Amino acid sequence: MEDTGPFIYAASVIGAVALYILIAPRTAWGRTLKAAAVIFGLGAFGYLIQSSVNVYTADADQPAGILFIIFSVIAIASAVRMITHHRPVYCALYFVLTVLSSAALFLILEAEFMAFALIIVYAGAILVTYMFVLMFAQQSSTPPSAGEEHGIALYDRIPREPAAACFVGFIMLALLTSTALYTPKELSPPTAADSTARLWETYEPMPRRQVKVIRLVGEQFSEIEADDIIAFNDPPNRAVVLLDGSEVEVVLPADHLPSNIRTVGMDLVYKFPVSLELAGVILLLAMFGAVVLARRQIELSEDEKRAAAGLGRLSDEEDEEPAPPGGSTGGGA
């Protein structure tokens, strides 16, 4: 493992150079160079993925899952397209694609509630709000000023110091990958039995649901009716119940495990109640802030109002007939 160190850094360098080729606005670079940069960048990422085998898995002879590769490549490619596109609305749309592919990665990680919450809240609310503001601020009704080309502003076409940014990106990528791959070997992954024990812990503060689960166990036997549950999940994945005066140890059924949304809900309310309340307070304060920011009126001068509406300056039109009465109020603050 340790001898792959230089190749990890080489892969990071290739990735950073590929990113620089895609960002920097040299028109002399043809499309073939950019296509080669895409291929080399994805190849570098693929090498990093392959070299991360043997770190946390027991059997490491198999390649990474095809679904994981598809969705992570889509996520990274759309993220790169997001930061290089010259039209801001397309950037927001590519970011929506990134959010959708990371939601698919959540599904691979069996966090289905978070995947749907991500799509609904992030792609459905936050990014749509961003697109509203982008379309509001990208009005092309004003005539293009100097430096614009086909209606695209200068600050969107030309990036700011791409070489320095890619260098910083390479350093960050090298740091993160070396930390992710060179951790001490004593970290061993938890076994599958720990997983069910952790899931049964969700029901520990819920005695009625424990009784319901024990009744489901008892359906296999005709006369079991738990009088008292002595220990739930105390030997992991087992419960000790009081049956006809004697203690019986029953195996908790695996098909009645709590689902993901039940586990997340219980953790949210049982283990993090203060954080839940504070999240509500933060949202309330954000609403206050948004209302205060929207109330502020900016006094534009008469010339600025007329320029925003597309009319000429007032001093130029002294000899012409007066403007229509609704003209200066249309573009005001």
Please identify, using beta-carbon distances, which residue of 83 and 224 lies nearer to another protein: 83
Whose Cβ is closer to another protein: residue 224's or residue 238's? 238
The DSSP letter of residue 152 is B
User: Least CB distance from residue 102 to another protein, whole Å?
Assistant: 5
Near another protein in 36-75, by CB under 8 A = 45, 48-49, 52-53, 55-68, 72, 75
Name residues contacting another protein, limited to 278-297 (CB under 8 A): 279, 282-283, 285-287, 289-290, 293-294, 296
- Alpha carbons 174 and 298: distance in angstroms, whole number: 47
One-letter amino acid at 321 equals: E
Question: Which of 17, 97, 165, 224 is in the footprint of another protein by CB under 8 A?
Answer: 165
Looking at residues 9 to 28 of the shown chain, list those that interact with another protein (rule: CB under 8 A). 15, 19, 23
Binding of residue 252 to another protein (CB under 8 A): no
Does 274 sit near another protein (CB under 8 A)? no
Per CB under 8 A, which of residues 307..326 are in contact with another protein? 308
Considering beta carbons, is residue 33 or 89 the nearer one to another protein?
Answer: 89
Q: Phi first, then psi: what are they for 203, rounded to 5°?
A: -90, 5
In 3D, which of 195, 313, 186 has the Cα closest to residue 263?
A: 195
Tokens of residue 221, six digits:
């036997």
Site string for another protein, 105-144 (x = CB under 8 A): xx-xxxx-xx--xx--xx--xxx-xx--xx-xxx---x--
Of residues 248, 264, 309, 323, which one binds another protein by CB under 8 A? 264
Angle at 170 between CA 187 and CA 41, to 5 degrees: 95
Residue list 180-199, contact with another protein (CB under 8 A): 180-181, 189-192, 194-196, 198-199
Q: Which of 35/126 has CB closer to another protein?
A: 126
With residues binned 3-state (H G I as helix, E B as strand, rest as coil), the percentages for the chain, rounded to 5, are 60, 5, 30
- Cα separation, 99 vs 127, in Å, equals 10
Q: Which residues does residue 242 pair with via DSSP β-bridges, in sequence order?
A: 228, 247
Q: What sign does the dihedral 207-210-214-216 (CA atoms) show?
A: positive
* Alpha-carbon dihedral angle through residues 21, 26, 31, 32, given to the nearest 10 degrees: -60
How many residues bind to another protein according to rule CB under 8 A?
114
Q: Tell me if 299 contacts another protein by CB under 8 A.
A: no
Looking at the Cβ atoms of 58 and 319, the one nearer to another protein is 58
Cα 51 from Cα 47, distance rounded (Å): 6
Contact pick of 76, 97, 206, 309 for another protein (by CB under 8 A)? 76
Calpha distance 176→181 (Å, rounded)? 9
Strand, helix or coil at 83? helix
Residue 33 sits in the site that holds another protein (CB under 8 A) = no
Minimum CB separation of residue 64 from another protein in Å reads 6
DSSP H or E stretch at residue 239:
strand 238-243
Q: DSSP secondary-structure letter at 258?
A: -
Residue 257: CB minimum distance to another protein, A: 6
Q: From the list 14, 21, 177, 214, which residue makes contact with another protein (rule: CB under 8 A)?
A: 177
Q: Which stretch binds another protein (CB under 8 A): 28-36, 97-105, 224-232, 241-249?
A: 97-105
Question: Is residue 233 involved in binding another protein (CB under 8 A)?
Answer: no
Tell me whether residue 88 or residue 243 sits nearer to another protein (CB atom).
88
Residue with smaller CB distance to another protein, 101 or 210: 101
Residue whose entry in the numeric block shows the structure tokens 């592919």: 101
Selection from 258, 247, 169, 178 nearest residue 8 by Cα: 178
